[in-house]
Structure 1
């Protein structure tokens, strides 16, 4: 199957983007070269954290954990790093609103979306997905670091049928996106830079989430396993349980090994999970691993460190370091107090983020945050927060 020439569609999308991307911010202009040095410039010597709470976003210094700015917003917002070392996208009822962590300010720049969804950063592109239309908006990530009074030009790929989905653009221009409609989500489709279909699969009921591993092997979670798109081919890896839902991928782009969340009981109440899935994108294998008794987590509580390990904040309050090859817990460190899982996923509960050799963990029950060394467990810094923290991302 061949779709209309993608070059033409994207040219039309740029015109559409001029209407889609609105705003009149008064932030300071970025200096020439900022995009190349944004990893340090974002926070005048170090990273910053954006932490969502009910009614706004805190901007926190990544070294001292001091609150730099409290930015009012809506009651419930979600956060995604823009990937440029300077900004985060705050998802609101209006769309994707750009937060500048350097100034800091919640700018007036908004990518309008009726149902702002996933944000993906890969290969120098930042990709936004609107669940209400299934339209995909694609920015050059470096260009975002240089925004002044308006957002940079973007390519917009129109959606086919609206659903809660996600898209990723590979370095050669291949566009991989989920497939579904109002009745459900079924799989993925890959289209090359010329608009020709490369591969398609409908073997992924409830497809959700995306992660790109070493060699641009892209994984998507399903209710019964995962799909791996690698070198133009889609491979289905089936869960060991009849219902083995996988919804989130925790990846390192320097490793073929992917850690994913795993749920084997469709009727289970609450959002605590006790198993993980390990996917090897080279060997094309999927393994379910049960965590030790007393260790459970939520989708918000897992990330990957710079050296490729997985780190998980358990409901026991400990930071667990996990070997992504075996699922073995290689170290556990005291981090926060033990906590109970949420009854709704939107409710505040511990979140985790990492940059370099530092792992950040929030404690929603006590409105605190801690920074740890995942190798030694040393607490680098800890602080009280003026609001109850929910989601968190590192900027810079």
Structure 2
């Protein structure tokens, strides 16, 4: 298999063009300045501010000892994980020529860390229970939702910028022993250099700066917490302004999203978001969309804007955004659930234009589920449907531009916790699991090419993919 972070090739070994579309000189110069002359896939297009911030973080050039401060620690925040494999606090990272994206794949009995270049199992961590996997946002760690709370999992990839190039290191993946305690660990959201986690069991929001994860630990002094009025299935989104958008409600009813300012006071508020669930950030300063059951609501320019829909009931509870696009991709349900009735399996998806708070729909002709979605590096939408096809969507025109046959035809399980196909994207690549065949497929989004199919030794369930050079 070719390496997606290096020169992309077709399955027969032919090199793909490094640039599939013209790029302006300014973006090209920024890529070269930050990454040297490596010009890997996927392309990174940095803002000038982002490039300057990265330049300020450059450390002195040296051998593996330069990354020793980034080795995972064995400390804990509130509890100790029951993992049989933990990153060694004294392990010296090994310098390598490059690091490929790694997939963390949960299965019945544990988590495997898989090198997406060749399918090598880098680590196999035994752990019981249904495990959910959430990117921590720093390009290295994953937050594992377990019975203990949010446990920190180190994927063992380290990138150290140095002027016009990077240094790369690896260390043994494993649970670091650090955990944010939670009765019912829920949503994890990264934005504006911070990650916020929501405890549905207590209504507690906990936040940390991404830099706090450099040592693999989240100590008490590195965490900021506040309490919502009541426990509920909620979400919090940190903003660049220092405020936090957070839901309010109860276990039985929720319809409010408001801006909680740094001093604890309430700014803008919307109470017209019944069943609020699902969020996505979009292009612009502090632009966020939330799903409701009467059309979504968008926070933009410091205010909430209701997205009108023609249906009386319209739920978009799963939302997927891109900081390079004003459009948010969503599911699109129009049948209110009734106890005992067959769940809705829609074929339409929604596309919200956050710039004017409008929505359009696109019928894919085949159903999907909440793990079917992703976004490409150029803002493309990605949706895997029951017919086994990965649909690549131009969100600006609301049109399917490519379809790729990826997995065997499938249908959604009655129990959502049972294994089903899972889509994750990183840069210009979509990673798709097929539990029926125990495969991990790699698709290049910009070309619509199926690049490789890797054999897995377990039946995959939850998955996340981390590219160390892509950070929030």
Partner of 2:346: 273
> By how many angstroms is 1:277 displaced?
1.1
TM-score (norm 1): 0.87
Q: Please name the residue that 1:28 is paired with.
A: 89
- In 1, the alpha carbon distance for the partners of 2:221 and 2:438 equals 37
SS at match of 1:241: coil
Q: Quickly say closer, same or farther: Cα 1:360–1:19, change in 2 above 3 A.
A: closer
Q: Aligned pair in 2 of structure 1 residues 73, 288: CA closer, same or farther (>3 Å)?
A: same
CA separation of 1:327 and 1:74: change in aligned 2, threshold 3 A: farther
Aligned partners of 2:312, 2:97: CA distance in 1, in Å? 47
Matched, 1:358 2:429: yes
Q: Tell me which residue corresponds to 2:232.
A: 163
Please name the residue that 2:440 is paired with.
Answer: 369
Q: Say which structure is richer in strand.
A: 1
Q: Which residue of 2 aligns with 1:322?
A: 393
Q: Does 1:306 align with 2:377?
A: yes
Q: What TM-score, normalized by structure 2, do the two folds share?
A: 0.74
Tell me the C-alpha RMSD between the 2 structures. Answer: 2.4
Cα distance, 1:302–1:19 mapped onto 2, change above 3 Å: closer
Aligned to 1:245: 315
Higher deviation after alignment, 219-228 or 232-241? 232-241
Asked if 1:226 is matched to 2:283, the reply is no
| Greater mean deviation of Cα atoms: 162-171 or 183-192 | 183-192
Partner of 1:61: 115
**Residue matched to 1:79:** 133
How much does 1:42 deviate? 11
Aligned to 2:267: 198
Q: Unaligned stretches of 5+ in structure 2?
A: 1-74, 157-171
Q: Structure 1 residues 86 and 314, CA, compared in 2 at 3 Å: closer, same or farther?
A: same
Structure 1 residue 315, shift from structure 2 partner: 1.0
Per-residue deviation at 1:109? 1.4
**Residue in 2 that maps onto 1:144:** 213
Q: 2:48 matched to which residue of 1?
A: none
Q: 1:331 to 1:26 in 2, by over 3 A?
A: closer
- State which of 106, 109, 124 in structure 2 corresponds to 1:52: 106
For 2:242, the equivalent position in structure 1 comes to 173
Q: Which residue of 2 aligns with 1:99?
A: 153
Aligned: 1:207 with 2:259: no
For the 8 Å contact 2:282–2:324, the answer to whether it is kept is yes
Q: Is the 8 A contact 2:231 2:249 kept in 1?
A: yes
Deviations 1:321-363 (A, max 9, x none): 0111232111111211111221122121101111122211000
Correspondent of 2:252 among 161, 171, 183? 183
Unaligned runs of 5+ in 1: 1-17, 35-40
- Retained in 1: the 8 A contact 2:203–2:228? yes
Q: For residues 19 and 69 of structure 1, what CA distance do their matches in structure 2 show?
A: 21
Give the 5 Å matches for 1:125-136: 125-136=194-205
Distance in 2 of aligned mates of 1:200 and 1:42: 49
C-alpha spacing 1:42/1:161, structure 2 compared with 1 (3 Å): farther
